[in-house]
Amino acid sequence: MTTPAPRASKGKAVKSPSRAHQDARPPASRQGSAQDDLAHIAAEWCACASDPAYFIHHYVLLDTKDGQGEGGAWAPFRLWPAQLRALDAVHAEKLLVILKARQLGMTWLLLGYALWLITFRPGSAVGLFSRRQEEAVDLLDARLKEMHRRLPDWCRVPTRKGKDNKTT
């Protein structure tokens, strides 16, 4: 499994994740003791918590059919260099305006970052907006919730039912 290319963040060079973190397979698929599995999970948790690019690259899946049909084809999210630069900017800046064209993967990138925030930064507030309400609901129900559902068990934060009896 490859890792994202080294990238700059807040003016500092950031190295690619260490070789120890490159085996991102779920612990159940590896041979070893329960203690080894716990150590692997702890190392992966720390790697993911410290770097949204690592989390997105290794654990986030995206719908390659982009919501066209039930049970679309979900594949690993492999970040492009431009997406890494955009992610650095989103992570570093409190307010950011992005001028972009269509089909650059920005919606999926920002949903992946939102997933990282709600997983590793408890209490984070994430708002999903779109031109129409149906599109905003789709961002939450068909994309973000499905991305969350496809995370490894050890990485998935618990969800609860809201007042409208929908998972929040």
One digit per residue, the tens of pLDDT, for the chain of length 168 reads: 444 444 444 443 333 433 333 444 444 455 667 888 899 999 999 999 999 999 999 999 988 875 554 556 889 999 999 999 999 999 999 888 877 777 788 889 999 999 999 999 988 888 888 888 888 888 888 889 999 999 999 999 887 766 654 655
Q: Quick one: which H or E segment has residue 14? A: strand 12-14
**Both tokens of residue 75?**
């594949």
**pTM as predicted:** 0.72
Question: 112: exposed, middle or buried (C-beta count within 10 Å: 0-12, 13-18, 19+)?
Answer: buried
The three-state secondary structure class of 94 is: coil
